[in-house]
C-alpha cells in the first residue's frame, strides 16, 4: 500500500536526462534527496512504474482547447514526457456528413449512444497504450465522456449509461480522469475574439455558444479536480494558466514561467442554508472523514469516504511535518477492503466528520460548500464552510462569491476552522488544540507546497451513507450563477 513518489531537483522528472542530478523513483518514506524539492505526483502508475495522468480539456466553442492541447503537448514533451492527444470524437463523426439538427429523437439517441461508445473505445486505446510506456505519460482528451450528457435529456443520458454498462456517474466522471479543465468560450467574456473560422463543424452564434459553454461546465460539476480557465486575462495568459494548473496538480515546479499565484480561500457562511432552488446546478456528495492514530500531532493521517447514491471512492491521506518550508501530503486511492482495515486504527480522540459537500459554479468560479452533519461536536452545529481556489486578490474574489449565500467572514488559515480541530472529541484546550502548519487541512485540491499521488480509481457500492442530506444533482436553472 506504500505510495510512490518522484523526486527531482528544480524541474527534473523521471524520464528527463540530466548530468547534474538524476531523478529517483522510490517509496515515499525514503530518505534520498535530489535537489531542493520533494514532490509526489498524482496519477496512476503503469507497469513500468511511470506516471499516467489523464486530463480533459472541455468547454464551449472557441475556448482555446485546440491551442491548449498543442501548448500542453509541447511543454510536457520538453520535460521528457510521452504525450498522447485523444481527438474529439464528435468532430470525427460530424465531419462525415452527419447534421445533428436533422436527426429525429430516436436517431439522435442512437447517434449519442454510438458517440459515447466510440469515445470510450478511442480513449481506452490511448489509456492501454500508456500502460506500456517507459516514460511518464500525459493523456490529453479533447472533451470527455460527461460532455455527451450536456446535449441530451437526462432520461436519454441514463439510457446511454445503462446501455454501455456504467452504473454510476462517479465511475464515468470522477474516477476515469485525473483532472478536468473547462476553457470558457470566447463568447463568455471575450466576445470580440469569438470566431467561426478554421473549424468546419462550428456554426454556433454567440448566444448558442454561451449556452453550450454553460452546459459543458455543468456536466463536469462534481469532479474532485475541476478547474475553470475564464477570459479575465489575455489569451496567452489563459493558455499559460492552463499549463500551470496541470503542473500544479501534478506537483511540477515551474518557477516564474507559469506563476499563477493561485491560493485556497475558506469562508464562513451564515445559516440557514438557502433552499436548493437558490443554487445554480450543483452536485452533492456525502463525505465521511476519520483521523487515524499517528503518535504525533505534527503528522496527520486520515481516511475519506466520498460518494453519491451508494457508490463510494476511498482515499488514504498522510500529511507529513513541514520540512524546508514545505508540507508534503500523500494521497492514495484505496479499495473498500483496505479502507475497512485501516479504519480499525481510528484515533479515538477525534469524532468522525460527516458532511455534505456541494460543488457548483458561480461567476466562473468553482466552489465547494461543506455542510456539516450530525453526529458531531456542538462546535460544528449548523456549520457551513465555503472553499475555492483563486488567483484574484481577496477584494476581487469577494465580488465573485455566491450572492445567495451570506458570508460571515474570511477564515482562511484560521486553526479554529480546520477539520482536525473541529473533529476533536473533547472541548478545546492547550493540550489538544493544534495550530501548526498542517492545521488548515483537507480539501479536494492540492494546496501550496503539497501534491499527491492517486492510484487507479476504485469505487465500491459497499455500505450506505452515514450522513444526512440529499445526494445527487439539482437543476433549478438553465444557466450558471451570474451574480445577478
Domain of 404, CATH number, reads 2.40.320.10
- By residue range, what is the domain housing residue 12? 1-39
Domain shared by 27 and 51, yes or no? no
Q: What integer best gives the mean pLDDT of the chain?
A: 77
pLDDT digits (tens, 9 = 90+) for 370-427: 999 999 999 999 999 999 988 788 999 999 999 999 999 999 989 899 998 999 999 9
Instruction: Indicate whether 324 and 432 sit together in one domain.
Output: yes
Residues 245, 336 share a domain: no
Count of domains for the chain: 3
pLDDT, greater one: 483 or 81: 81
Residues 7-30 have a mean pLDDT of: 27
Pairing between β-strand 4-8 and β-strand 24-27 as defined by DSSP bridges: antiparallel
Tens digits of residue pLDDT in 290-321: 999 987 767 889 999 988 888 888 888 888 77
My answer on whether 305 and 421 are in the same domain is: yes
Q: How confident is the model at residue 55 (pLDDT cuts 50, 70, 90)?
A: very high
Q: DSSP 3-state assignment of 468?
A: coil
Same domain membership, residue 426 and residue 405: yes
Per-residue confidence (pLDDT) for residue 338, from 0 to 100:
92
In a domain, 84, yes or no: yes
Quote the pLDDT of residue 425: 92
Cell of 268: 464562513
29 and 56 together in one domain = no
Q: Is it the case that residue 258 has pLDDT exceeding 80?
A: no
Q: Return the minimum-mean-pLDDT range out of 30-44, 198-212, 250-264, 320-334.
A: 30-44
> Please, which residues have CB within 8 angstroms of residue 395's CB and are 6 or more apart in sequence?
none
Least confident of 17-21, 58-62, 135-139, 355-359: 17-21
Question: Per DSSP, which regions of 293-393 are E strands?
Answer: 300-308, 311-319, 329-334, 353-362, 365-373, 384-390
Question: Do 191 and 286 belong together in one domain?
Answer: no
* pLDDT confidence of residue 345: 95
Greater confidence (12 vs 442) lies with 442
- Chain segment 377-392, per-residue pLDDT in tens: 999 999 999 999 887 8
pLDDT (0 to 100) of residue 297: 67
Q: Any idea which of 142-151, 171-180, 194-203 has the lowest mean pLDDT?
A: 194-203
Same structural domain for residues 47 and 112? yes
190 band by pLDDT with thresholds 50, 70 and 90: confident
309 and 230 in a common domain: no
pLDDT of residue 466: 32
- Is the same domain home to 75 and 11? no
Residue 484 lies in a domain: no
Q: Is the pLDDT of residue 484 over 50?
A: no
Same domain (yes/no): 162, 246: yes
pLDDT of 20 reads 25
Q: Which of 147-156, 201-210, 343-352 ranks highest by mean pLDDT?
A: 343-352
Q: Residue 413 to residues 58, 90, 340: CA-CA distances in angstroms?
A: 32, 44, 32
pLDDT computed for residue 423 by the predictor: 94
**Residues 73-129: pLDDT tens digits?**
888 887 778 999 999 998 888 888 888 778 888 898 999 999 999 999 999 999 999
pLDDT band, very low/low/confident/very high, at 431 (cuts 50, 70, 90): low
Is residue 112 a part of any domain in this protein? yes
**Residue 464: inside a domain:** yes
Single out the residue in 250, 283, 318 at which a domain terminates: 250
pLDDT band at 49 (very low <50, low <70, confident <90, very high): confident
Instruction: Give the CATH number, domain containing residue 105.
Output: 3.40.50.300
Residue 435: per-residue pLDDT = 66
Residue 86 or residue 453, greater confidence: 86
Assess if residue 148 is contained within a domain.
yes
Q: Does the structure show a pLDDT above 50 at 456?
A: no
Who's near 314: CB < 8 A, 6+ residues apart?
Answer: 303, 304, 305, 306, 333, 334, 335, 336, 338, 339, 458, 460
Average pLDDT over residues 198-218: 78
Give the percent of the chain with pLDDT over 70: 74
Decide if 483 is inside a domain: no
Global confidence as pTM: 0.63
Domain-embedded: residue 51: yes
Q: Could you tell me if 442 and 310 lie in one domain?
A: yes
Residues 165-184 as b or e (16 or more Cβ within 10 Å = b): ebebbbbbbbbbbbbbbbbb
How high is the pLDDT of residue 379? 94
Residue ending a domain, among 226, 250, 274, is: 250
245 occurs within a structural domain: yes
Closest to 379 in 3D by CA, of 264, 300, 268:
268
Amino acid at each position: 500500500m506504500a505510495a510512490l513518489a518522484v523526486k527531482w531537483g528544480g524541474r527534473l522528472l523521471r524520464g528527463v536526462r540530466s548530468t547534474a542530478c538524476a531523478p529517483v523513483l522510490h517509496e515515499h518514506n525514503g530518505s534520498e534527496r535530489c535537489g531542493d524539492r520533494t514532490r509526489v505526483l498524482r496519477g496512476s502508475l503503469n507497469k513500468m512504474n511511470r506516471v499516467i495522468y489523464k486530463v480533459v480539456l472541455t468547454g464551449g466553442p472557441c475556448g482555446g482547447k485546440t491551442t491548449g492541447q498543442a501548448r500542453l503537448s509541447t511543454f510536457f514533451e520538453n520535460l521528457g514526457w510521452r504525450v498522447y492527444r485523444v481527438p474529439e470524437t464528435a468532430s470525427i463523426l460530424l465531419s462525415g456528413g452527419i447534421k445533428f439538427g436533422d436527426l429525429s429523437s430516436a436517431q439522435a439517441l442512437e447517434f449519442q449512444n454510438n458517440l459515447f461508445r466510440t469515445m470510450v473505445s478511442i480513449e481506452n486505446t490511448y489509456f492501454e497504450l500508456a500502460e506500456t510506456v517507459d516514460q511518464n505519460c500525459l493523456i490529453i482528451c479533447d472533451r470527455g465522456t460527461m460532455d455527451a450528457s450536456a446535449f441530451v435529456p437526462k432520461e436519454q443520458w441514463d439510457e446511454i449509461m445503462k446501455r454501455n454498462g456504467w452504473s454510476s456517474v462517479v465511475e464515468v466522471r470522477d474516477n476515469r480522469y485525473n483532472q478536468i479543465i473547462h476553457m470558457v468560450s470566447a463568447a463568455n467574456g471575450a466576445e470580440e475574439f469569438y470566431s467561426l473560422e478554421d473549424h468546419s463543424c462550428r456554426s454556433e452564434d454567440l448566444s448558442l455558444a454561451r449556452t453550450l459553454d454553460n452546459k459543458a461546465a455543468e456536466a463536469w460539476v462534481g469532479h474532485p479536480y475541476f478547474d475553470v480557465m475564464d477570459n479575465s486575462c489575455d489569451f496567452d495568459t489563459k493558455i499559460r494558466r492552463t499549463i500551470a494548473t496541470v503542473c500544479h496538480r501534478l506537483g511540477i515546479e515551474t518557477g516564474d514561467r507559469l506563476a499563477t499565484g493561485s491560493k485556497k480561500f475558506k469562508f464562513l457562511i451564515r445559516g440557514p442554508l438557502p433552499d436548493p432552488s437558490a443554487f445554480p446546478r450543483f452536485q452533492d456528495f456525502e463525505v465521511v472523514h476519520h483521523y487515524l492514530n499517528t503518535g504525533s500531532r505534527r503528522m496527520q493521517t486520515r481516511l475519506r469516504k466520498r460518494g453519491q447514491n451508494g457508490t463510494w471512492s476511498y482515499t488514504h491521506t498522510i500529511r507529513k511535518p513541514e520540512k524546508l518550508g514545505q508540507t508534503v501530503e500523500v494521497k492514495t486511492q484505496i479499495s473498500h477492503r483496505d479502507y475497512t482495515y485501516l479504519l480499525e486504527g481510528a484515533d479515538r480522540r477525534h469524532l468522525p466528520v460527516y458532511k455534505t459537500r456541494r460543488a457548483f459554479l458561480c461567476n466562473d468560479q468553482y466552489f465547494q460548500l461543506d455542510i456539516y452533519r450530525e453526529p458531531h461536536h456542538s462546535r460544528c452545529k449548523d456549520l457551513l464552510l465555503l472553499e475555492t481556489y483563486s488567483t484574484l486578490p481577496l477584494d476581487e474574489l469577494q465580488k465573485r462569491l455566491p450572492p445567495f449565500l451570506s458570508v460571515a467572514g474570511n477564515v482562511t488559515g484560521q486553526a479554529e476552522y480546520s477539520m482536525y480541530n473541529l473533529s476533536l472529541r473533547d472541548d478545546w484546550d492547550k493540550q489538544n488544540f493544534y495550530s501548526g502548519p498542517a492545521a488548515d487541512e483537507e480539501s479536494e485540491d492540492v494546496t501550496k507546497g503539497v501534491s499527491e499521488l492517486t492510484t487507479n480509481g476504485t469505487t465500491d457500492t459497499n455500505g450506505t451513507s452515514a450522513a444526512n442530506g440529499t445526494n445527487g444533482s439539482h437543476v433549478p436553472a438553465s444557466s450558471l450563477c451570474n451574480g445577478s
